[in-house]
Amino acid sequence: MCGINGIAFSSRSGRTVSRPLLEAMRDVITHRGPDDEGIFIDHNVGLGHRRLSIVDVSRGHQPMTNEDATLHITYNGEIYNHADYRESLEAKGHVYTTHCDTETILHLYEEYGVNCVEHLRGMFAFAIWDQRKQELFIARDRLGVKPLYYFHTDDGSLYFGSEIKTIFAAGALKPELNYAALPDYLANHAPSGESTLFNGVKRLLPG
């Protein structure tokens, strides 16, 4: 288990990401990743990561970048078939510096863009910042094993994280009960769909 978080301020907001703000979001979920921590900031976009080291313990620092530092990923999960792609990706010129499944996601994104998820077998929640396209791609596994929550502001800015408390730690909104989701929660022990128990906070749907 790891923890991810991030911010993407819209151009309308006129804001840039500050390190203390991103760290506050990241460190409120230290329990998800006590072994390592990381931050990446590119003006109005920031990614944070708390790592529980399992694969390639010494070299799996995140957020991780690709060969030319144009892609940056923060990722939580396990890709069971990542080793199956290594030889073919290296044959296409991709350079690995670790044995982590994280790096395979980056190289698959370089090859297939957002369709990289069609090649992934496992459980995952990740965000990739593409500096060349100035696009943020966020994805979650088909069964929704790994959690990911987000909040859109009125000006189009985005906050996201593995737990809802990351969004509250950023001061993006006040915790207010979503009464519309309460009956669903009481009947099923969790709200269904994209709703959560907090107004404004949504769950990224599986797949």
Cα dihedral across residues 131, 132, 135, 139: positive or negative:
negative
| Annotated catalytic residue 2 | yes
In which region does residue 90 sit, left (phi positive, over 0), alpha (psi from -120 to 50) or beta (all else)?
alpha
Q: For residue 186, give every residue at least 6 positions away whose Cβ sits within 8 Å of its Cβ, in sequence order, or none.
A: none
Pair 127, 106: CB distance under 8 Å:
no
Structure tokens of 195? Answer: 């709703």
Nearest to 158, CA basis, from 6, 8, 15, 4: 8
Which residue among 2, 45, 64, 127 is the active-site one?
2
Q: Active-site residue numbers?
A: 2
